[in-house]
Amino acid sequence: MRDLVIIGGGPAGMSAAIAAYEQGVRDILILERDESLGGILQQCIHNGFGLHKFGEELTGPEYAWKYEQKVRELNIETKCNTMVLDITEDKVITATNAQEGIFQLQAKAIILAMGCRERSKGALNIAGSRPAGIFSAGTAQKFVNMKGYLPGKNVVILGSGDIGLIMARRMTLEGAKVHAVCELMPYSGGLARNIEQCLNDFNIPLKLSHTVVQIHGKERLEGVTIAQVDENRRPIDATREFIPCDTLLLSVGLIPENELSKAAKVDLSPITNGAVVDQDRQTSIPGVFACGNVLHVHDLVDFVSEEAEIAGKAAAAYIKGNTGKKVEIPVKTDGKVRYTVPQVITVKKDITLYFRVGSVYKNVRVNVTAGDKVILSRKRPKVAPGEMESVTIKAELLENVESLTVSLEVL
């Protein structure tokens, strides 16, 4: 029997392990399928990490290294090259590696920190052939930053998520020509700072309300046809434009890796595609916690680390037998606010609700209501789907509250 098993050795897994250790848990094991710790940050060699958490600009590997050093310093046990195959409701973990073959572990508590994967082109249904030269932006990032290969010289990027924006800059710096970033929606899915620093600084056009309608080429990509879309996101024929290119990068969303969570029958949210959790990041299964991108997609790793600390501390309390939950306050949304994390409050203490909105809204008020009473209201000049927002509710505001709704009022 292990006290705490953490699945995934990315920033979430490492931060959760350190937090649990600092709360007195010593029997901790991190299982990581990759050959080293660090998760996706290993391939994110650009800077901009750690501004919130450490007040300095770090690269992805530097940020991850700070946590890895701490994990080593505390002698927290890790097993890399170890793939977790299954977990059960009773917290039995089945994993495999080259040394031990298939093995099972029983844990008192589990923290799910498996991150997310990129949505692939299969999910897109673009007409045309399927030549070489089409990559997800993250795969291209790995080729360029870790393997030293340039996937192509003339590039079009579909989707303006942060990885696409970062790769537009990286490919340009490596000598390729990025002809356009096409975004189906009338707004970008990425952070405002990435649009400025990755596209505008390099004169790369961002074509909003545009998509790729056809792929050309047999062996190798020879070009794409793009078109503007109408308000129903249907391509407008008269706007079709052929762009010759040898590479199409897709940055069309991230999907939390919840196959293991599903196997354990953890309740998942259809909106986040991650677990439904309380303020401690505890899932519907007592003793199973989730944090980081497997819970909901984060734009900044700093918030991943913060969330993982919450899960790590709570797992430690659970292991020590502090499992009492007194209340059950569901947190609902109005549609303009798409989701919140946590989705339920089980202890009345100061709570930060993280949320994302469904569209771009300017000059708004974020209202938190209990019944028909507004208990908290915060003005924001602008909110956008690409930027995670948060509000903190003081414990005293939760007195006599049975449910909460987070909504947007456009002023």
33 belongs to the binding site for ligand FAD (CB under 6 A): yes
Q: How many CB atoms lie within 10 A of CB 201?
A: 11
Residues 69-88 that bind ligand FAD (CB under 6 A): 83-84
End-to-end Cα, the chain, rounded Å? 56
Q: From residue 148, how far is each of 43, 126, 144, 172, 200 by CA, in Å?
A: 11, 29, 5, 15, 26
Choosing from 217, 287, 292, 386, the residue that interacts with ligand FAD (CB under 6 A) is 292
Q: How many CB atoms lie within 10 A of CB 98?
A: 7
Residue 183 sits at φ, ψ, to 5 deg, of -130, 125
Of the CA atoms within 13 Å of residue 273, those in its CB half-sphere come to 16
366 and 406 in contact (C-beta within 8 Å)?
yes
The DSSP element (H or E) to which 254 belongs, if any, is strand 254-256
Choosing from 181, 221, 254, 337, the residue that interacts with ligand FAD (CB under 6 A) is 254
Cα–Cα distance measured from residue 308 to residue 305, given in angstroms and rounded to the nearest whole number: 5
Residues 127-166 that bind ligand FAD (CB under 6 A): 138, 141, 162-163, 166
Choosing from 4, 5, 6, 8, the residue that interacts with ligand FAD (CB under 6 A) is 8
Q: Which is nearer to ligand FAD, 78 or 367 (CB)?
A: 78
Stretch that binds ligand FAD, among 10-18, 196-204, 214-222, 376-384 (CB under 6 A): 10-18
13 belongs to the binding site for ligand FAD (CB under 6 A): yes
SS3 60: helix
- For helices 301-319 and 60-73, the axis angle rounded to 10 degrees is 20
Residues 268-287 that bind ligand FAD (CB under 6 A): none
Give me 90's structure tokens.
Answer: 């009773």
Stretch that binds ligand FAD, among 34-42, 71-79, 351-359, 368-376 (CB under 6 A): 34-42
Minimal distance, residue 243 CB to ligand FAD, in Å: 24
Residues 293-312 that bind ligand FAD (CB under 6 A): 293-294, 298, 300-301, 304
Residue 355 sits at φ, ψ, to 5 deg, of -150, 160
Choosing from 4, 5, 6, 7, the residue that interacts with ligand FAD (CB under 6 A) is 7
What residues contact 32, with CB distance under 8 A and at least 6 apart? Answer: 8, 9, 13, 78, 79, 80, 81, 82
Radius of gyration of the chain (CA): 22
At position 279, the amino acid (one-letter code) is: Q
Stretch that binds ligand FAD, among 107-115, 199-207, 212-220, 396-404 (CB under 6 A): 107-115
113 belongs to the binding site for ligand FAD (CB under 6 A): yes
Choosing from 6, 12, 107, 401, the residue that interacts with ligand FAD (CB under 6 A) is 12
Stretch that binds ligand FAD, among 103-111, 229-237, 292-300, 327-335 (CB under 6 A): 292-300
| Alpha-helix runs per DSSP H in 174-218 | 192-194
11 belongs to the binding site for ligand FAD (CB under 6 A): yes
Q: Which is nearer to ligand FAD, 62 or 334 (CB)?
A: 62
Stretch that binds ligand FAD, among 37-45, 148-156, 180-188, 277-285 (CB under 6 A): 37-45
By CB under 6 A, name the binding residues for ligand FAD: 7-13, 31-34, 39-41, 44, 49, 83-84, 113-116, 118, 138, 141, 162-163, 166, 254, 257, 260, 292-294, 298, 300-301, 304
